[in-house]
Amino acid sequence: MTPYKLLLLPGDGIGPEVMGQVEKVIGFLAQAGIATFETEHDLVGGSAIDAHGVPLTDAALARADAADAVLLGAVGGPKWADVAYEIRPEAGLLRLRKDLGLFANLRPAICYPALADASALKRELVEGLDIMIVRELTGGVYFGEPKEITTLPDGTKRAVDTQVYTTGEIERIAHVAFDLARKRSGRVASAEKHNVMKSGVLWKEVVTRVHAEYTDVALEHVLADNCAMQLVRRPKQYDVLVTDNLFGDVLSDVAAMLTGSLGMLPSASLGAVDAKGSRKALYEPVHGSAPDIAGRDFANPLAMIGSLAMALRYSFGLGEAANLLDGAITDALANGARTRDIAAEGTQALGTAGMGDAVVAAL
Amino acid sequence: MTPYKLLLLPGDGIGPEVMGQVEKVIGFLAQAGIATFETEHDLVGGSAIDAHGVPLTDAALARADAADAVLLGAVGGPKWADVAYEIRPEAGLLRLRKDLGLFANLRPAICYPALADASALKRELVEGLDIMIVRELTGGVYFGEPKEITTLPDGTKRAVDTQVYTTGEIERIAHVAFDLARKRSGRVASAEKHNVMKSGVLWKEVVTRVHAEYTDVALEHVLADNCAMQLVRRPKQYDVLVTDNLFGDVLSDVAAMLTGSLGMLPSASLGAVDAKGSRKALYEPVHGSAPDIAGRDFANPLAMIGSLAMALRYSFGLGEAANLLDGAITDALANGARTRDIAAEGTQALGTAGMGDAVVAAL
Ligand SMILES: CC(C)[C@H](C(=O)O)[C@@H](O)C(=O)O
Ligand SMILES: CC(C)[C@H](C(=O)O)[C@@H](O)C(=O)O
């Protein structure tokens, strides 16, 4: 069989460390005859700025475009705080999302039973939590024009960002949400601010219309501010939660934090399915580059390894291998493997590499 | 002494019920010789739509402008879901904020000791919580133009909202935050998305510059998504939190929910101080119109009564009377008075009027 083409973009901060553990797992999968990957490496974010002066080179983008899937660690850090806006580390990630057309960002917020006590919320509120946030990723205020700072005649400044959504953009993300809900609990909540934003009015209208094609799925509309509140109050009321780019950024972080295991949550960013049935895809942890703990063997690699599992499932149709890998993560945890972020106070924790080994051992 | 002029806008849903309890308190304050108010009433939101076809009449706006302070209950409800965007209930509230120049929205998130167990968070994370959210209220995506939905040649639609911030708008809200911090713990956190939004870039730049005038106050910049996360993870790290209109909408709801006492949280919306040393002001509960429980004597009136306390403090310089009223709320709670939203499961709860009586009794 032809090997799957994977581009690895470790990025900044703890990115390279957690990516190292994914490479360990990839090595094992090949050895065990489960799946063979042809891996390439490139730079993104601050590391690309340091090497090339830009956070993503055209060559790296072309490689990402040619790969079957991209795995990304994390970008950014204080080192690049003074870089110009156009070439800041995050611009590399945003360019990947936009230019590869990765409009559908899937962010599962799962509370692992072994970790329910690590949540800030009371155990009974999060035990068994399993939310899938579907965030629109290539539209909204992230990319709308004008996006600029101008200087006024009196020398003061005026900054503008523009949130734009079209019917088509909303339709396709709504379909992703409803299709997912069919395979899950059959419930979708859609969050916007139609009481303040015209894009919220259109969002609600289009989601309602698309819903007519999914009579077997229940749809609830919720205002984004209330949704943030409800996520804290009674998170298990949600199953699939679809929302725009900016609200998705905030709400998915709230949902992730509820689980008490931020270091464990993967994400998938998917493009449209093409004529050949394949789609562009990028997989990355929900957590950031965590510069404060970078290089210290403290980082939890499970979100990155879980992102590989999502790639197996969504990009390569290797559902069984994905289950195997997810199972190995669960087993490693059940065997007591803990990195610092999820270890109970006063207990001994594994390092990044130690956790990677624990997963491979469980495989 | 000349009586203070108060405009009461009960609004929709539970608004009139909770406002009724404020009138009880006002009656008591007059009788006891503590403060005398000349109260007027008018309509806002759905009730104004029903009576006048618009969510705020010019006459009501003029009254609000002439009053020393405005107390507002809540606006909106499913009854007005199909009203045109321009005259929806919320437009009345937004017009009041904008036309009275109420740019500074203060939202305290306080965890009352008696209610710490009502929080979704573990007790130790919220006990003693006392955050002051300072939300910019007359700028950003709420009011920026263009704000419109257009129909494209192919019949599909395109919605646009515009986030605009100027140096001056950011400066004045930053001053409010730093001045408040001086009277509190001396710490300000400022939340934006400078890694994605140009308005975030300007926000961070201006807040940093204003901070130079407050060398006794510590300033921390935090990304809004991370801030939402940190509010759940370790809320007590924050004291004063300043942010823009949209992030403030979401973050203040998260912060409010943490306290477990959403029905208890008041807010103040303040204008600039004029030459005579006075400022326009509107006071309202953080909670909404809760149409599901309207008219059933279930609603908690303490947020509305607490809003009157804020008015005593910020609009009338009656700090002592404000303390008295806040103390009566605390005492009523300590005496076991609970409405349904904050009562322990299986215990007897007071109605809206009963809670109002409990506060007056404690006065
Ligand atoms: C790094 C940043 C640009 C990014 C975003 O805002 O989308 C991050 O917060 C995320 O959620 O993936
Ligand atoms: C009712 C609505 C327009 C309002 C807002 O979005 O500002 C509300 O959510 C609030 O926070 O006061």
Nearest to A229 among B165, B193, B257 (CB): B257
Based on the fold, state whether residues A172 and A272 are members of the same structural domain.
no
Average pLDDT, chain A: 96
Q: Which residues of A touch B203 (CB under 8 A)?
A: 159
How distant, in Å, are the alpha carbons of B73, B86, B152, B174, B342 from that of B15? 4, 22, 41, 31, 18
Nearest to A257 among B166, B196, B232 (CB): B232
Catalytic residue positions of B? 142, 193, 225, 249, 253
A124 domain residue, yes or no = no
How far, in Å, CA of B330 to CA of B351, rounded?
Answer: 17
A120 domain residue, yes or no = no
Q: Ligand 1 — pocket residues by CB below 6 A?
A: A 90, 93-94, 249; B 195-196, 225
From B239, B258, B277, give the residue that closes a domain: B258
B351 domain residue, yes or no = yes
CB A104 within 8 A of CB A137: yes
Based on the fold, state whether residues B251 and B311 are members of the same structural domain.
no
- Ligand 2 atom nearest the C-alpha of A193 is 6
Based on the fold, state whether residues B275 and B347 are members of the same structural domain.
yes
Average pLDDT over residues B194-219: 98
Strands (E), chain A: 4-11, 37-41, 69-74, 104-110, 130-136, 144-151, 157-166, 187-192, 218-223, 240-243, 266-270, 281-285
A119 domain residue, yes or no = no
Q: Residue A80 annotated as binding?
A: yes
Based on the fold, state whether residues B248 and B297 are members of the same structural domain.
no
Residue A1: is its pLDDT beyond 60? no
Share of residues in chain A with pLDDT > 70 (%)? 100
Of A110, A123, A137, the C-alpha closest to A238 is: A110
Please state the pTM of the whole predicted model. 0.97
- Concerning whether A142 is annotated as a catalytic residue, the answer is yes
Provide CB contacts within 8 A for B331, sequence distance 6+.
Answer: B362
pLDDT, tens digit (0-9, with 9 covering 90-100), for A322-337: 999 999 999 999 999 9
Average pLDDT over residues A287-313: 96
How many angstroms is it from B249 CA to the middle of ligand 2?
6
Residue tagged 């979704």 (tokens): B120
- Concerning whether A341 is annotated as a catalytic residue, the answer is no
Based on the fold, state whether residues A252 and A275 are members of the same structural domain.
no
Based on the fold, state whether residues A14 and A105 are members of the same structural domain.
yes
* Candidate of A98, A249, A262 to mutate for ligand 1, largest count of ligand atoms within 8 Å of Cβ: A249
pLDDT, tens digit (0-9, with 9 covering 90-100), for A74-127: 999 999 999 999 999 999 999 999 999 999 999 999 998 888 888 999 999 999
How distant, in Å, are the alpha carbons of A58, A244, A277 from that of A169? 26, 10, 20
Nearest to A163 among B152, B160, B254 (CB): B160
Residue nearest to atom 10 of ligand 1 (CA): A249
Q: What is the pLDDT of residue B229?
A: 96
Nearest to A250 among B88, B162, B225 (CB): B225
Q: Which residues of A touch B253 (CB under 8 A)?
A: 225-226, 228-229
Based on the fold, state whether residues B195 and B152 are members of the same structural domain.
yes
Q: Of the listed A193, A238, A244, A283, which one is catalytic?
A: A193
How many angstroms is it from B33 CA to the middle of ligand 1?
56
The residue type of A166 is: T
- Concerning whether A198 is annotated as a catalytic residue, the answer is no
How many angstroms is it from A158 CA to the middle of ligand 1?
24
Q: Which residues of A touch B262 (CB under 8 A)?
A: 229
Q: What is the CA radius of gyration of chain B?
A: 20
Q: What is the pLDDT of residue A170?
A: 99
Average pLDDT over residues B205-209: 98
Q: Do B250 and A148 touch (CB under 8 A)?
A: no
For residue A319, give how far its alpha carbon lies from the nearest alpha carbon of chain B (Å).
31
Count of the separate structural domains present in chain B = 2
Nearest to A226 among B197, B226, B253 (CB): B253
B119 domain residue, yes or no = no
A121 domain residue, yes or no = no
* Candidate of A93, A135, A245 to mutate for ligand 1, largest count of ligand atoms within 8 Å of Cβ: A93
Q: Which of A119, A167, A265 to substitute to test the interface with B, most B CBs within 10 Å?
A: A167
How many angstroms is it from A90 CA to the middle of ligand 1?
8
Q: Which of A166, A232, A254 to substitute to test the interface with B, most B CBs within 10 Å?
A: A232
pLDDT, tens digit (0-9, with 9 covering 90-100), for B251-293: 999 999 999 878 899 999 999 999 988 999 999 999 999 999 9
Based on the fold, state whether residues A233 and A157 are members of the same structural domain.
yes
Q: Do A253 and B225 touch (CB under 8 A)?
A: yes
Share of residues in chain B with pLDDT > 70 (%)? 100
Residue nearest to atom 11 of ligand 2 (CA): B249
From A211, A229, A258, give the residue that closes a domain: A258
Q: What is the pLDDT of residue A115?
A: 86
Q: Do B149 and A249 touch (CB under 8 A)?
A: no
Range of the domain at B76: 1-108+264-363
Q: What is the pLDDT of residue A277?
A: 87
How far, in Å, CA of A138 to CA of A94, rounded?
Answer: 8
Residue A272: is its pLDDT beyond 80? yes
Q: What is the pLDDT of residue B116?
A: 86
Based on the fold, state whether residues B136 and B250 are members of the same structural domain.
yes
Q: What is the pLDDT of residue B184?
A: 96
Q: Which residues of B touch A168 (CB under 8 A)?
A: 156
Q: Do A147 and B247 touch (CB under 8 A)?
A: no
Q: Which of A111, A115, A172, A195 to substitute to test the interface with B, most B CBs within 10 Å?
A: A195
How many angstroms is it from A165 CA to the middle of ligand 1?
19
Q: What is the CATH number of the domain that holds A37?
A: 3.40.718.10
Q: Which residues of B touch A226 (CB under 8 A)?
A: 253, 288
Residue A266: is its pLDDT beyond 80? yes
B117 domain residue, yes or no = no
- Report residue A65 as tokens: 């475009």
pLDDT band for position A261 (50/70/90)? Answer: confident
Share of residues in chain B with pLDDT > 90 (%)? 92
- Ligand 2 atom nearest the C-alpha of B245 is 7
How far, in Å, CA of B60 to CA of B11, rounded?
Answer: 12
From B258, B278, B304, give the residue that closes a domain: B258
More confident residue, B358 or A348: B358
B118 domain residue, yes or no = no
Residue tagged 């080179």 (tokens): A57
Q: Residue B68 annotated as binding?
A: no
Q: Which ligand is nearest to the CA of A90?
A: 1
Residue nearest to atom 3 of ligand 2 (CA): B90
Residue nearest to atom 7 of ligand 1 (CA): A249
How many angstroms is it from B163 CA to the middle of ligand 2?
16
Q: What is the pLDDT of residue B1?
A: 56
Residue nearest to atom 8 of ligand 1 (CA): A249
Q: Residue B298 annotated as binding?
A: yes
What are φ and ψ of residue B108, in 5° steps?
-75, 140
How many angstroms is it from A286 CA to the middle of ligand 1?
9
Average pLDDT, chain B: 96
pLDDT, tens digit (0-9, with 9 covering 90-100), for A184-195: 999 999 999 999
Based on the fold, state whether residues A101 and A76 are members of the same structural domain.
yes
Based on the fold, state whether residues B149 and B247 are members of the same structural domain.
yes
Based on the fold, state whether residues B230 and B275 are members of the same structural domain.
no
For residue A316, give how far its alpha carbon lies from the nearest alpha carbon of chain B (Å).
31
What are φ and ψ of residue A105, in 5° steps?
-100, 115
How distant, in Å, are the alpha carbons of A190, A193, A213, A220, A262 from that of A210? 12, 19, 6, 13, 32
